[in-house]
Amino acid sequence: MSVSPAPSPPAADQTTLRRRGVGLTALDAARSAGGYTLFAPQTGGGAVYLVDIRGEVVHRWQMPVRPGRDAVILPNGHLGYNGSHPDPFRPYPAWPLWRGGDFYEATPEGKIVWRFEDPRHHHDARWLDNGDLLYATVEPLSAELSARVAGGDPRRDAPDGIVQGDVIRQVNRQGETVWRWAAGDHLPPEDYPVHPIFDRRHWPFVNGLGETRDGLVLMSLRVTSGIIAVDRDTGAVAWRIGADRLAQQHTPIEMADGSILCFDNGNLRPGVTAPFSRAVQVDPGTGRTVWEYADPLKPAFFSPYMGSAQRLWNGNTFICESAFGRLFEVTPEGDVVWEYVIPFFGEYPDDGARDFAAGVQNSVFRAHRYEAAQIPWLRP
C-alpha cells in the first residue's frame, strides 16, 4: 500500500506584524465607549474603512488617490479626505512620504462634492466647523534666515543651504486664503533648535494642528519637539510646551480644562535610553502632567512616527500607535478595553516614499472614533 507524502507546512509569513495577529484582539464591551473607528491605511491605495466595536468593516470608501495623511467624518456626515497630490513638487528627498495636498469631500456613497489642491501641503490638516480648511505648507526661508536655523546635522543640509519653513494656511470653501502664518516671520530660529539626529531641510516641521476655544492655533513641532499656541491676530506665540516635556509629539488637542492632550512619540526623550510612546495631557501654563498613559512595559508601546490620541465621550482615551497599525482604547486608570490591529497591509508606491519607509506595513497617520449619532446615515 502506498502512502501519500505529508503536505508541506505553509511558508512563514515574512511580515512580522501580521504574524503577531490582526483584527480585534481585545474587547471589554462594558467599559468601552463603543462607537465606530475610521482609518485610512497609508499603503492602502485610497481605501478608507469604518469598523464597529467588534472590528467588523461596516463601510468602505475608495478615494481617487492614496492618503497623504488621514480621513475624518465631517459634521454633515460626509468624508473629509487628505490625499497625496501627484504633483512632482519635491523640496527635499523625503517629501513624498508625507506629501498631502489633494483634499476631497465625499458623500457616504463616494460622490466627490468638493476638492481643493495645494501641492505644498504636508502632514496635518483640520476641517474647521465653519467649513474652512487649516493646513501646513512649506516655503523656502531666506539664505540669512536659513543660516540661523540651529542644531540638526549640518552634513545633510541642502546643497544650497536653504531650509524649507512652515507656513500655515486657512482657506475657505472658495479656496481663498483667509489666514496665513509663516514660522520664519514669528519664530526666532535660535530659540527652536533642531534635534541633532534630524537634517535641517525643514523647520520647525509642523506635524499637527489644532484650535483652542479662545481661537489660538495649536502647532506641534516635530524636529524641535514641543507644542506652541499662536495668536491669530498678532502671529505671536501665546504659550509653549517645550522639549523638556515632549519628544517628537503629534496631534495637539485642547481639553475642557484647557490642558493639551497629545501623542508623545518619545524618540529622543532626554535621559531615556529605551524609547517609548505615551498619550499625555499637559497643563500649558505650568507644564504639569495632568494625565498620561504608557504601557506598563514601556517599550511595548512605541510609534517612532505619526500617532494620535483622542478623549472619548465616556472619559476613555482612544490611541493610534500609527507605525504598527495598532488602535486601542484605555480607561482613565490605564486599562485597555479595546484593541484592534489593522489587517490591511501594503507597500508605499515607488514614488520616493518607499525609499524612506520600505516594507509591507499597516500604518496610518491617525485614526478617529465616532459615536453612532455622528454617522446618521449608517444603519446598524
Cis peptide before 64, with omega less than 30 degrees from 0?
Answer: no
What does DSSP say about strands 278-282 and 289-293: parallel, antiparallel, or unpaired?
A: antiparallel
40: exposed, middle or buried (C-beta count within 10 Å: 0-12, 13-18, 19+)?
Answer: buried
Which tens digits make up the pLDDT trace of 119-169?
999 999 999 999 999 999 999 999 999 999 999 999 999 999 999 999 999
Question: What amino acid occupies position 186?
Answer: H
Of 121, 203, 201, 119, which is closest to residue 160 (Cα–Cα)?
201
Return the CATH number at 174.
2.120.10.30
Does some domain include residue 7?
no
**Cα–Cα dist 227/284, whole Å:** 9
Say whether pLDDT at 1 is over 70. Answer: no
Q: For residue 11, what pLDDT is reported?
A: 83
Question: What amino acid occupies position 213?
Answer: R
Does some domain include residue 93?
yes
Domain count, the chain: 1
Does some domain include residue 5?
no
Does some domain include residue 2?
no
**Cα–Cα dist 296/95, whole Å:** 35
Give the residue-averaged pLDDT of 13-34: 94
Say whether pLDDT at 327 is over 80. Answer: yes
* 341 phi, psi to nearest 5 deg: -105, 120
Give the residue-averaged pLDDT of 220-245: 97
**Cα–Cα dist 291/171, whole Å:** 34
**Exposure string for 179-207, b = 16+ CB within 10 A, e = fewer:** eebbbbeebebeebbbbeebbbbbbbbbb
Does some domain include residue 3?
no
**Cα–Cα dist 234/278, whole Å:** 33
Residues 6+ apart with CB under 8 A from 235: 181, 185, 186
Q: For residue 229, what pLDDT is reported?
A: 98
Q: How many CB atoms lie within 10 A of CB 163?
A: 29
**Cα–Cα dist 248/226, whole Å:** 7
* Residue ranges making up the domain that contains 353: 16-374
Say whether pLDDT at 380 is over 80. Answer: no
> pLDDT band at residue 191, thresholds of 50, 70 and 90?
very high
Residues 6+ apart with CB under 8 A from 295: 276, 301
Give the residue-averaged pLDDT of 93-117: 97
Place of cell 542644531: 151
Which H or E element spans position 43? none
